[in-house]
Amino acid sequence: MNEAAGRARSLRADIVFAFTLGLACYVAWLARDVLALVYVSALFAVVLSPVVSFTARLRIGQWRPFKGSAIFFLLLLAAGALIAFGFLALPPVVRDLQAFSGEIPTRVPKLLESLKRVPFADRVDAGAVTARLQDVASNAASYLLMAITTGAGKLFDLAMGFILTVYFILEGDGTYKWFLSFIPVERRERLDRTLRRAKVRMGKWLLGQGSLMLIFGVTSTIVYLSLGVRYAYALGVLTGLLNMIPVLGWAISLTLALVVSAIDSWGRVLGVTIFYAIYIQVENSVLIPRIMRNSVDLPGLAILVALLLGSALEGIVGAMVSVPTAVLVAVLVDEYLVAKEGAASR
């Protein structure tokens, strides 16, 4: 009788557990966007926390100016950099757009005349193309405002992710201890040791990624200046920053550089194309293997698969966090699967 009652209670417990698990999965699916935002913010907080700690340890003699205010100093520095970039980069672009809109009636017919050698290009209506380009150039600010309005939701997600990242940095230790409190005591120390090892490797990833961004930004700025490309400094900064986005980043920066170069001469377009063709080969064959692979200690195939999965799941943001996520997964697998298999063989 007792055995039958025990089996009944066990069956009811299994049913309740399965129902609760299914309900939790359903709620997680409904809140998948929020959970993804929280995960990305927490991951960025883990990656950026060494930078905050390093800033807090800076000394001027015996004085530590940023102790307790390192995050505020970094935010202020980032805001100042963005404002300076806007003041330096936007006015020349606006002036050139205004000048370009005035020159369109004379430039477009000449361009279409030279394109008539291309098959079917002689059917293009020069007047219609000229009018359309003038409308785009004169209403560039309106189109930009419409794009910003359309992307307001993404901007809100970006702002919330930024705020969550700051909170995770400020309250990360308390949150981490709260998470570990759900783990049985006998397993807690091992998990803590594993996660801290993963944090160190993620910090190395940030250092490696920052090195690649700096190298690409400085090199591209020198090339743009030597070729006489417009907005060389602004394009160099964008090139370095966009390099954080795997594959798509350099494609966007290349497109921007080609468009700007085409304003003046096709020789500059050729020079920029040659530079990118050489640099991408050097980065893929020399820089990434020596910097990133040694930093994250992952094979190239694993990094490529992580990039593909991340971009498929969350687009650009997923691609940005795919490598540190792969580092975390690799450390957990190494600790709980590979090590366990080795222990069993002994």
pLDDT, tens only, 51-68:
777 777 777 777 776 666
Of the two residues 96 and 275, the one the predictor is more confident about is: 275
Task: Output the average pLDDT for the chain.
Answer: 75
Residue with tokens 């957990």: 332
271 versus 173: which is more confidently predicted? Answer: 271
Which of 199, 176, 154 is CA-nearest to residue 314? 154
48 and 162 Cβ atoms separated by less than 8 Å: no
Confidence check: pLDDT of 339 > 60: no
The C-alpha atoms of residue 288 and residue 145 are separated, in whole angstroms, by 38
Least confident of 80-89, 131-140, 151-160, 173-182: 131-140
Q: Tokens 């209670």 — which residue?
A: 9
**194 has a pLDDT exceeding 70:** yes
Interval 236-257 mean pLDDT: 82
User: Nearest-5° angle of CA 306, CA 310, CA 311?
Assistant: 120
Q: Summarize the confidence of residues 285-301 as an average pLDDT.
A: 71
Provide the whole-model pTM.
0.66
Is residue 332 within 8 A of residue 194, CB to CB? The reply is: yes
Q: Which residues pair with 273 in a beta bridge?
A: none
Q: Tell me, what's the pLDDT at 346?
A: 42
| Token code pair at residue 274 | 């040659």
Query: Using an 8 Å Cβ cutoff, are 88 and 69 in contact?
Result: no
Given this model, what pLDDT does residue 174 score?
Answer: 82
Q: What is the pLDDT of residue 147?
A: 55
Higher pLDDT: 231 or 138? It is 231
- Average pLDDT (280-287) is 81
- pLDDT, residue 329, reads 86
CA–CA separation, 270 and 280 (whole Å): 15
* Residues β-bridged to residue 60: 63
> Helices in the chain by DSSP H: which ranges?
2-30, 32-56, 70-115, 126-138, 140-150, 152-180, 185-227, 232-242, 248-264, 266-282, 288-296, 300-333, 339-345
Task: Return the structure tokens found at 164.
Answer: 């969550």
Rounded mean pLDDT, 309-318? 76
> What burial class does residue 333 get, using C-beta atoms within 10 Å of its C-beta: 0-12 exposed, 13-18 middle, 19+ buried?
exposed
**What pLDDT digit, counting tens, does each position of 95-135 carry?**
766 666 666 566 656 655 655 555 554 555 555 655 565 56
What is the pLDDT averaged over residues 247-264? 82
Beta bridge partners of 63: 60
The letter for the amino acid at 117 is: R
pLDDT mean over 207-219 = 86
Q: In this structure, are residues 161 and 318 in contact, taking their beta carbons and an 8 Å threshold?
A: no
Examine the pLDDT at 25 and tell me if it is beyond 60. yes
pLDDT of residue 97: 65
Distance, in Å, from the CA atom of 282 to the CA atom of 288, rounded to the nearest integer, reads 9
- Determine the 3-state secondary structure of 122 from DSSP: helix
Q: What is the structure's pLDDT at 323? A: 81
Average pLDDT over residues 217-234: 87
Contacts of 24 (CB under 8 A, 6+ apart): none
